[in-house]
Chains A and B, each alone.
Chain A
Amino acid sequence: MSQSKSASILDSRILIPAVGGAFIKLNPRTLAKNPVMFVVATVSVLTTVLFLRDLAVGGDNLGFSFQINLWLWFTVLFANFAEAVAEGRGKAQADSLRKARTETQAKLLTNANGRDYRMVAGTSLKVGDIVLVEAGDIIPSDGEVIEGVASVNEAAITGESAPVIRESGGDRSAVTGGTQVLSDVIRVRIAAAAGSTFIDRMISLVEGAERQKTPNEIALNILLAGMTLIFVLATATIPAFATYAGGSISIFVLVALFVTLIPTTIGALLSAIGIAGMDRLVRFNVLAMSGRAVEAAGDVDTLLLDKTGTITLGNRQATEFRPVRGLSEQDLADAAQLASLADETPEGRSIVVLAKEKYAIRGRDMAGLKATFVPFTAQTRMSGVDLDGSQIRKGAVEAVLAYVGGGSLPVSGNAAIAASPQSETVRELQAIAAEIAKAGGTPLAVARDGRLLGVIHLKDIVKGGIRERFAELRKMGIRTVMITGDNPMTAAAIAAEAGVDDFLAQATPENKLSLIREEQAKGKLVAMCGDGTNDAPALAQADVGVAMNTGTVAAREAGNMVDLDSDPTKLIEIVEIGKQLLMTRGALTTFSIANDIAKYFAIIPAMFLAFYPQLGVLNVMGLATPQSAILSAIIFNALIIIALIPLSLKGVTYRAIGAGALLSRNLLIYGLGGIIVPFIGIKAIDVVITALGLA
């Protein structure tokens, strides 16, 4: 994978097989999928037959009609070549994936709970079978870890050699066939039958074998077929008109006019653009399960982004100690550091770091202090240490208040508590906590022996540059919504800092799903990413659901894209790739249609010159002879396909400058350019072929 990533468009390893591919694709059944090229091939067959007849009976102008024939076939071959090059880039990836799919042996458990197994071929596994995978084994097929934890090398699919952890029960329970277990033992319930595994799907995707035309591509094909028909009418009626004028038109000239007028440029490159769009995603380590999803990505109106990991760095960091009245920051820092010494969570470590940096409290040895660590549990929602008979605890404000006996009292609530000596401190602590929450931080209360000491301010660190990213998205017309489990106050503060348009606080799978439905009811397209099983309904509901590769099988099945790097920020790039795909199609269609003007100016005077010499005035390019004019037009028409292959593979550059500005820019380049370029190109070719004496 990593090799093909750097493969350039002009890689000979792709180009040489593509030349062969261009000829193989002359198969009528393959050609029939592309209406415009099928028509070109059909008329090429016709002119070839006519040419051969002329050759046999010794007609005139054999050299000219031979060249017309040659370039007609080149037009078809160039179109095939474009598609072959696009596919070739995927093939390289497919080959490396195939290596991972090589025949594996599986240890099929005879009894789900026992350790007895028999060796079977990986391909014979059925959905629901349970296999044992030990260190060094290749996981035989896609499945879910039902017992155990193991480090797995997923380089075969992600290209990333650092091992990842796969364990039962959590959101990291999915394993992919073809990846290798490096340590420990897991039991895997098989979730995909042979032939439909993740790797199988990837292979068919990158090879373009399963490529279905997307809705927009179908609509475009209808337009192109319609334009082809219109030009059938325009050219087929010319001989009758010429007869009226007392002239006649050679069938070769007529066919040349027809082929240059129909939208061959976009017709030739359309499927290459589609394949290349998919390919760009794959290079980006994102797998789209359908082309429809890629198109939908370009249309996304609302982007749901998880706060953690996408908008903020994964970990919150302690930035401040806020003691209650009567205590110094130093005292609070000391207690907080003690409580966090054995806390290996990033938050815990950041408290130790802050205490050291700001208050010069050095790390202490837990064993030396005879301290015992009290780990965090879901019940207590606190952690801390017991030492010298005293207990230090830190945790969520409500939890710590409950611990000191204050409960989560309302400020002017229970009279008994309000009257207690501690009520003043409780109120003060709550006030500090509220202040921190309002600023977007997370308050962490600290208590020692039932006495409240103060609050640690944990802060979410918004990723650098993310604000600019959102501003860009806004210019594209995309609304960003931050999804977070935080309370609304905290969420609002972070949302403001990150510059998202909206947020969903205290998110649950249910309200996430209803948010998506709400947006969709307004006619908007929604994209989101998720990894957990509880994300699956929302992923399925979203128009673009990107499942993280580290996620559960359910999440991966529900989404229509899988991100192999499990990087939720990528959603933004996915949207850009979707837009780029549509833009490239539009740009080349516009270019192709705009080309027709120049072609008319080349061919019409040439065609009618014999009986209406006055029409020579229309030969604005000053082409040498009628024959050279017609040849130049058809040569230009064929060569422009080759010239535009790089653009169709790379895609038109997307800029977040607003739709109006983007359109005028592209209209200027591809519309106006499409009018002017062929005038120059045809003239240049005319000069060359006249110099070479070809016409």
Chain B
Amino acid sequence: MTLNGWLQILVFCGILIVLVKPLGAYMARVFSGGRTLLSPVLVPIERGLYALAGTNEREEQHWTTYAFALLMFNLLGTVVLYALLRFQDILPMNPAGMPAVGPELSFNTAVSFVANTNWQSYGGESTMSYFSQMVGLAVQNFVSAATGIAIAIALIRAFSRASGKAIGNFWVDMTRATLYILLPACIVLTLIYVWLGVPQTLGPYVDATTLEGAKQTIALGPVASQLAIKMLGTNGGGFFNANSAHPFENPDNISNMIQMLSIFAIGAAFTNVFGRMVGNQRQGWAILGAMGILFIAGVGIVYWAEAAANPIMHAFGLQGANMEGKEVRFGTVMSSLFAVITTAASCGAVNAMHGSFTALGGLIPLINMQLGEVIVGGVGAGFYGIILFIIIAIFVAGLMVGRTPEYLGKKIEAKEMKMAVLAILCLPLAMLVFTAIASVLPSAVASVGTGGPHGFSEILYAYTSAAANNGSAFGGLTANTPWYNVTLGLGMLMGRFLVIIPALAIAGSLVAKKTVPASAGTFPTDGGLFVGLLVGTILIVGGLTFMPALALGPVVEHLMMIAGQTF
């Protein structure tokens, strides 16, 4: 580890913190229906869309209606995307002449993009036509992110309103998230990426003759526009197979920094939106503080592990960091930082191969996802995820001040507890149960690329990434098999919708409650004590479940590496 390295990490954190307030203010205005800079242009478009869809902007929905609308919208999205992939060969904009995508892979990919996971069992440039990328995948990149934002906004309303019934209108929240937040930002980002050298073309792949005289096909496409939403919407699905390690998808350190910032921007700003809408910005900063502690700790461990590298190499006199699977232009620091960011948020884009990290370097991305991606997290998803942990933390510790637990004046009772527990339960269910089956099923074990505990980590990482809706891969595992395509698809569905429905149910229950005014007997949730409590709860409640699995994967791998054995 070097001072220079830490300075780069600090620069990232500094810019992010500066972004939080203005972005938070803007988003809070958008979702409260206030006027913004973009209103003159966007309001007519928004009105037109509502008129076209027959939606009444002012009509708010009960949580069940909201959830139903959301589920139907996502179901429709899945079916349409599945069809697009299955009929890719006869659809336009296919200069490379890609064949139709097979049924299991189409199912897996459709679910993956609708669930904001972007797990890719395929290589983009060798599987997808431009049409599939732009009309299929990119559309879901936008709306799956908007879906996450809508849920988080609905949940925030539940706290800011008292004795209400409705939590907002799903169609309106979705439209505003896309129109006012994602689209304008993506237009700007696309232009920046193009300026930095990312291709943006509908032209065919280019054939080149190398110096040795060999023929080489260089894949191109509308990369910059895909890249913008891939990062900002924490989708993470690469245009190319190598994802953000590909020079066309991440040319230099500036594009790398912009990509890292856009992964966290909306998620971090959400804490501020929350603070503003509940009338105390400190509440938001406290949540961001807890996220920040876990984040910095994760970055520190990965950076340390990657910089310290491998004692076996040292024994051969090879000094320096672990550079296996890393791009030289990013180096140890930016690869470590990127890995932590992409798994802390539910992005899943990679600029280095996580499977090539040291055991401990790979452990942190796993833990980040297993905690439910609540360290900033996916757009919206990270916020409603951490609210679930807050509910548990407040419930247990809140009792210790001698009052029945309440958060921001809302009593946490049996209904909220039931829903929070259900949501938290579904992650270990999908991650551990599928991993357990896959690790004894011979056909599934056959997909594993490496022996020993590292092979186990590959399976564990795949299901963890799917259920956490991350989408990053550990590498090594051949996941494009019917078994993995189907089970990973199921894992993604569980990890997405079995959390969303309880989260909306909590919103519906909280919005109906009175707001109890705070007093000296209420425990303050905007201070350091709360931050510490939340960090502890996330680690103990979210993390302990995975201790045995982690012990058999990265932990034992690390101990074996110290003893001189690698995989």
Contact = CB atoms under 8 A, between A and B. Distances in A.
Interface of A: 215-216, 218-220, 222-223, 225-227, 229-231, 233-238, 240-245, 257, 261, 295, 298-299, 301, 474-479, 522-525, 578-580, 582-583, 585-587, 589-590, 593-594, 596-597, 600, 604, 607-608, 612, 614-615, 617-618, 652, 654, 658-660, 662-664, 666-667, 670-671
Contacts of A243: 439-440
Contacts of A237: 432-433, 435-436, 548-549
Nearest to B452: A245
B396 A604 contact: no
A476 B529 contact: no
Interface stretch (B50-58, B236-244, B253-261, B422-430): B422-430
A589 B540 contact: no
A243 B437 CA distance: 11
Nearest to B399: A586
A580 B402 contact: yes
A612 B523 CA distance: 45
B517 interface: yes
Contacts of B414: 215, 218-219, 222
B548 A523 contact: no
Contact of B397 (A216, A223, A522, A663): A663
Contacts of B540: 593-594, 596-597
B467 to A, nearest CB: 12
Given A586-B399, A604-B547, A234 B436 contact: no
B533 interface: yes
Contact of A523 (B162, B424, B541, B559): B162
A219 B401 contact: no
B556 interface: yes
A231 B440 contact: no
A301 B519 contact: yes
Nearest to B516: A523
Given A475-B520, A658-B520, A659-B520, 5 more contacts: A219-B416, A220-B395, A220-B417, A614-B556, A663-B397
A242 B401 contact: no
Given A222-B414, A593-B396, A523 B515 contact: yes
B437 A240 contact: yes
Contacts of A583: 399-402
Interface in B444-467: 445, 453, 455-456, 459
B370 to A, nearest CB: 11
A258 to B, nearest CB: 11
B439 A240 contact: yes
B507 to A, nearest CB: 18
7 contacts: A216-B404, A234-B545, A234-B549, A244-B440, A586-B397, A587-B400, A662-B402
Question: Which 10 residue pairs are nearest across A and B when measured between Cβ atoms?
Answer: A477-B521, A586-B399, A579-B402, A226-B421, A477-B519, A240-B436, A477-B520, A614-B559, A237-B436, A244-B439
A662 B515 contact: no
Contacts of B520: 474-477, 658-659
B456 A241 contact: yes
A478 B551 CA distance: 49
B560 interface: yes
A617 B413 CA distance: 42
Interface string B161-177: 01000000000000000
Contacts of B413: 215-216, 219
A231 B456 CA distance: 20
B325 to A, nearest CB: 24
Interface in B16-72: none
B443 to A, nearest CB: 14
Contact of A219 (B412, B456, B517, B519): B412
Nearest to B460: A241
A677 B516 CA distance: 37
A256 to B, nearest CB: 13
Contacts, number: 218
B524 to A, nearest CB: 5
A182 B210 CA distance: 117
Contacts of A600: 544, 547-548
A582 B519 contact: no
Contacts of A299: 403-404
Interface string B532-558: 110010001100111111011001100
Interface of B: 162, 392, 395-405, 409, 412-414, 416-418, 421-422, 424-425, 428-429, 432-433, 435-437, 439-440, 445, 453, 455-456, 459, 514-517, 519-524, 527, 529, 532-533, 536, 540-541, 544-549, 551-552, 555-556, 559-560, 563
Q: For A223, A298, A662, which residue has the most chain B Cβ atoms within 10 angstroms? A: A223
Contacts of B533: 663, 667
B164 to A, nearest CB: 14
A261 B541 CA distance: 11
A597 B536 CA distance: 12
Contacts of A617: 559
A215 B417 CA distance: 11
A604 B560 CA distance: 16
Nearest to B545: A234
Given A233-B428, A475-B520, A663-B397, A222 B417 contact: yes
Contacts of B459: 244
B367 to A, nearest CB: 14
Given A586-B396, A604-B548, A226 B424 contact: yes
B262 to A, nearest CB: 34
Contacts of A589: 396, 399
B546 A234 contact: yes
A523 B399 contact: no
B237 to A, nearest CB: 29
Contact of B402 (A222, A578, A618): A578
A659 B524 contact: yes
B425, B433, B551: residue with the most chain A Cβ atoms closer than 10 Å: B551
Nearest to A226: B421
A280 to B, nearest CB: 14
Given A301-B519, A523-B409, A608-B551, A662 B439 contact: no
Given A223-B421, A241-B549, A597-B540, A234 B432 contact: yes
A477 B435 contact: no
A586 B404 CA distance: 10
Contacts of B559: 612, 614-615, 617
Contact of B398 (A230, A523, A524, A586): A586
B12 to A, nearest CB: 32
- Give the residue among A219, A234, A235 with the most B Cβ atoms within 10 A: A219
Nearest to A674: B540
Nearest to B557: A614
Contact of A663 (B409, B422, B437, B523): B523
A393 B552 CA distance: 95
Most buried by A among B413, B517, B533, B556: B556
Contacts of B545: 230-231, 233-234
Contacts of A218: 414
Nearest to B539: A597
Given A229-B425, A234-B432, A478-B519, A660 B529 contact: yes
Contacts of B560: 614
Contacts of B440: 240, 243-244
A225 B401 CA distance: 23
A574 B403 CA distance: 13
Contact of B400 (A244, A479, A596, A662): A662
A589 B440 CA distance: 36
Contacts of A666: 400-401
Contact of A590 (B396, B403, B523): B396
Given A241-B456, A660-B524, A235 B548 contact: yes
A604 B435 contact: no
Contacts of B522: 477, 659
A292 to B, nearest CB: 10
A245 B395 CA distance: 39
A1 B437 CA distance: 61
B563 A614 contact: yes
